[in-house]
Chain A
Amino acid sequence: MTRTRPVGRAPRYRPTLWSPGGRLPRLLHPVAWWIWALSLGVAASRTTNPLLLLMILAVLGVVVALRRGDAPWARGYRYYLFMALAVIVIRVVFRIIFESGVTPGDFILFRLPRVPMPSWYAGIQIGGPVSSEAVLSAALDGARLACLLCCIGAANTLANPKRALRVLPSALYELGVAVTVALSVAPQLVDSVQRVRRARRLRGGGNRGLRALRAVAVPVLHDALERSLLLAASMDARGYGRTGTATRASRRLTAVLLLTGMAGLSVGAYALLDAGAPAGLGLGGFAAGAVACVAGLALGGRRVSRTHYRPDPWRWPEWVVTACGLVSAVGLCVSAGYNAAVLNPSVYPLHWPSLPLVPAIAILSAALAAVVAPSPPAPATHAEVEPQRHTVVRDLAGAAR
């Protein structure tokens, strides 16, 4: 991914795939978590069977509970759960308010008073009968979306977002830097606003009104501008962008390749996820997009020479986690060994959905990640063990002197 210029040859220990220590407490490679979570997302998008969706949620819950770290981003999973719940509720409420999906012969739960709409606006009706079938199908649709949301949430919770950014191909390095800088500058901006607001009271000013806004905004913006200039100078002095010697033509070609690649990937992904689209469009678009992207990234990455501090290793637990995620996606995409109709059970007539064996096993296999992935490093041990270790180092250094 990045080419390194050899600067002296030090004898070095290269951990191999099967070297011991793969399961010592550490953070799993963020890409492994993302593949795993996105695969489960693909699986979820294929089904509205409530039993399968519940299983996916359970798998996500178990893995997140067992394998998340102690960092701020790792504590955010419940917000995704709240969001998921909100998605279901909104979906059902809309279905109730805008009468739709009610067919003759439905079991009518209750009737809302109908709001008369003008004749030119006849497409949408507000109020009217609400049937159990309509509500249920809305809830199941919502549950599928909610499940997808939880998959993304799980990936964000399990993988350190900053380390995930570092995995970006070097052609996209600048993007990663921008995000990192934004992440570290945002709290400084908050501090600065608080400081200026407090100082403003010293001049006898209130904190409301247009003048107060100016009195706070001007010093804060001045501060931010000054700081960004200092940061830019510091980055320049520390070698940022050292070998940006791409020609204009190659930069343009990179941009074109990446844009078309992204477009291809989006079309392909959409077609793959939408069961109604022709399979050829999905696979073809996906493949073409991937090729264009890889070419663009390779071209863009050629000019960059940079290394990573402590790159995340990719060892067998990463392979297993990725594989068991993919199994669940494949299990629900390739309808082999079961009737594809059970994935999307009809609500007409209302009946208890059946649990197909193959998809259920495929989804459960994703739970293997909770066991295979190494446990995250305990934060307390950093604080307790590190100083001791280093006093030892320092003592040794002192003794040697």
Chain B
Amino acid sequence: MIRFDRVGVTYDGSESPALRDVSLRIEEGELCLVIGHTGSGKSTLLGAVNGLVPHFTGGTLSGRVVAAGRDTALYKPRELADVVGVVGQDPLSGFVTDTVEEELAYTMEQLAIPSAAMRARLEETLDLLGIADLRHRALRTLSGGQQQRVAIGSALTAHPRILVLDEPTSALDPTSAEDVLAAITRLVHDLGVTVVLAEHRLERVSPYADRVIYLAGDGTVAQGRPDDILGAAEIRPPVVELGKLAGWEPLPLSVRDARRAAVRLRQQLPGTPPLPCRPTRTGQASPAVVAASGVVVRYGPLVAVRAASLTLHGGECTALMGRNGSGKSSLLWALQGTGGRAAGTVSVGTAGTDPARLPPARARQLVGLVPQTPADLLYLDTVEAELDQADRDVSSNRPAGIAEPARDILDRIAPGMPADAHPRDLSAGQQLALVLAIQLTAAPAAILLDEPTRGLDYQAKAGLIRILDQLAARGHAVVVATHDVEFVTRACDRVVVMAEGEIVTDGPATRVLTASPTFAPQIAKILAPLPYLTEAQVAAGMDRVAVS
């Protein structure tokens, strides 16, 4: 269905090719998963399928790409629109019209499909993706998962034989992501559509994949059966890690297969893990840094946060979880003092100062917040200039001067970032580190991060965990709003779960994460009822078994 023949792609102005000598075949009806680190060429590979690379992006493509029998050298992306459907990362910026029905019809209108056929196809697509009740809604008012399903639907109405999806679930909460992935697998199984899918969160999709393409990062590609590739690749989901550790053959890819293989392991492992899932900090008597009680945030008639009370301690990393729209962001902004707060109190430090009563420049010296899109804070031309500006901002507002220059902080948390790079050219992980360094220059007692894991790959997440550990060790109170259970397992000591603006659960990470099977990391799901959360714990447990 898709054939790459010794394909190489070099973008204008870059020395090394983004892809080199790539040859692959993707057969009809396969779900093909493309994995690799950020910047390894995933988007280039996907864009080459329908000719957006190089027709739209520029650059040089050598070799041949044939999709559904059409050579992309001869056909432009628009002439492939009837055989290749494309869905991007951010559905909202790809929408041309503003209501669901019109958006679904758009591709068909361009393909000149007669109106009677168009209506029939549109109704089928609405039902196929379960979005019939949204048909008259404005696209902007939909949730992220609904928008993504509409985007998939608008590609599907053209009846393409290939569907290309570039990280369709990276911006979604787990439930919406499940909806989208369920829709995608239904397309593969019921309609035989060939799907090419790039995804960071391997644990979500690896069970469904028929084939995996791994981009090593130097432009070369390895492809094959999922268990072969995932077993050898640098990036792999926890279930594969566990399988390799236990030496299971064939390597399980889904929790179900792994549970069946783990019967013996569950009997052997000691009842309590010999290691805690995170190293416990010595000197736990940390003071309360932020004490909030009865915080209410409302937008007109909508109550976003309903009388939430929360105490944050220095040296503790807290995860704030809950589905989209449960009030996580509103709570963070209210704690920082910049967001609205209709009722309740927030007091920071021993003096019990309320940051909302201070001017912004002083409030950020109490509580720092990194917003969902960190790039919103960056407006200068180089990393250097941003760091200098951060120093100036702080020294002009603080009698004691700066505790530590921004450059030093950045070198500590993310060493080796080029000073003359443009902030917009940095990867998502680097931008996050830069903004974090800028916010830390003000030396806040508490630092809040709103969905920092969005769009980060495994490497960047590991880097973020190191940074957060460092911050906690220096006595900051850290809060991370996130959906990523695997990340929370490794990064956080405490988990707070919100629903409909209320705090539902608040407790140690180990207890909260193992309490419910749906909310648990993969290893906990496989080894339940044993309270193991990470491979390190399992490895230690196995050592214990081997010794005795």
List residues of A whose CB falls within 8 A of some B CB: 2, 4-8, 10, 12-13, 177, 180-181, 183-184, 187-188, 195-196, 198-206, 214-216, 218-219, 222, 226-227, 230-242, 305-311, 382-383, 386-387, 390, 393-394, 397
Contact = CB atoms under 8 A, between A and B. Distances in A.
Given A219-B378, A222-B424, A390-B127, A204 B112 contact: no
A230 B90 contact: yes
Contact of B364 (A5, A204, A308, A383): A204
B96 A231 contact: yes
Interface stretch (B73-81, B276-284, B456-464): B73-81
Contacts of B122: 309
A242 B111 contact: yes
B110 interface: yes
Closest 6 CB pairs of A and B: A239-B81, A309-B105, A234-B94, A204-B361, A239-B110, A390-B132
A305 B109 CA distance: 9
A7 B132 contact: no
B118 interface: yes
Nearest to B376: A199
Contacts of B116: 10, 12-13
User: Main SS of chain A's interface residues?
Assistant: helix
A27 to B, nearest CB: 13
A216 B378 CA distance: 9
Contacts of A8: 114, 117
B140 A235 contact: no
Interface stretch (B300-308, B367-375, B476-484, B523-531): B367-375
B94 A230 contact: yes
Given A202-B371, A202-B377, A215-B379, A386 B136 contact: yes
Contacts of A237: 50, 52, 77-78, 80-81, 84-86
A242 B85 CA distance: 15
B148 interface: no
A199 B368 CA distance: 11
Nearest to B364: A204
A138 to B, nearest CB: 43
A214 B386 CA distance: 13
Given A183-B98, A204-B361, A309-B101, A238 B106 contact: yes
A69 B115 CA distance: 25
A234 B88 contact: yes
A307 B112 contact: yes
B249 interface: no
Given A4-B114, A204-B393, A231-B95, 6 more contacts: A181-B96, A195-B376, A231-B96, A236-B52, A390-B126, A390-B133
26 contacts: A2-B112, A4-B112, A7-B112, A7-B117, A180-B97, A183-B98, A199-B377, A201-B360, A202-B370, A202-B371, A204-B361, A205-B393, A236-B56, A239-B107, A239-B110, A240-B96, A242-B79, A307-B113, A309-B101, A309-B109, A309-B118, A310-B115, A386-B132, A387-B133, A390-B132, A393-B132
A238 B82 contact: no
B492 interface: no
B360 A204 contact: yes
A4 B369 CA distance: 55
Given A4-B112, A196-B376, A202 B117 contact: no
B78 A241 contact: yes
B210 interface: no
A386 B371 contact: no
Contact of A199 (B361, B362, B371): B371
A2 B113 CA distance: 12
Nearest to A393: B127
A230 B132 CA distance: 26
A222 B377 contact: no
Contact of A308 (B109, B336, B378): B109
A22 B38 CA distance: 57
B548 interface: no
A6 B84 CA distance: 21
Nearest to A212: B379
B112 A305 contact: yes
A238 B155 contact: yes
B439 interface: yes
Interface in B42-88: 50, 52, 55-56, 76-82, 84-86, 88
A238 B115 contact: no
Contact of B115 (A200, A240, A307): A307
Contacts of A238: 78, 81, 86, 96, 106-107, 110, 154-155, 158
A382 B127 contact: no
Contacts of A310: 101, 105, 115, 119
Given A218-B379, A238-B110, A307-B112, A203 B438 contact: yes
Given A202-B369, A204-B442, A386-B133, A236 B78 contact: yes
B102 A309 contact: yes
A308 B80 CA distance: 20
A242 B50 CA distance: 14
B338 interface: yes
Interface string B118-144: 111011001100001101100110000
B376 A219 contact: yes
B96 A234 contact: yes
A159 B25 CA distance: 52
Given A206-B360, A230-B88, A306 B393 contact: no
B440 to A, nearest CB: 12
Given A234-B94, A307-B115, A387-B132, A198 B127 contact: no
Nearest to A232: B56
Contacts of B377: 199-200, 202-203, 219
Interface in B342-386: 360-364, 368-371, 373, 375-379
B92 interface: yes
Given A4-B112, A203-B438, A219-B376, A188 B78 contact: no
A307 B52 contact: no
A390 B55 CA distance: 41
A181 B110 CA distance: 15
B93 interface: yes
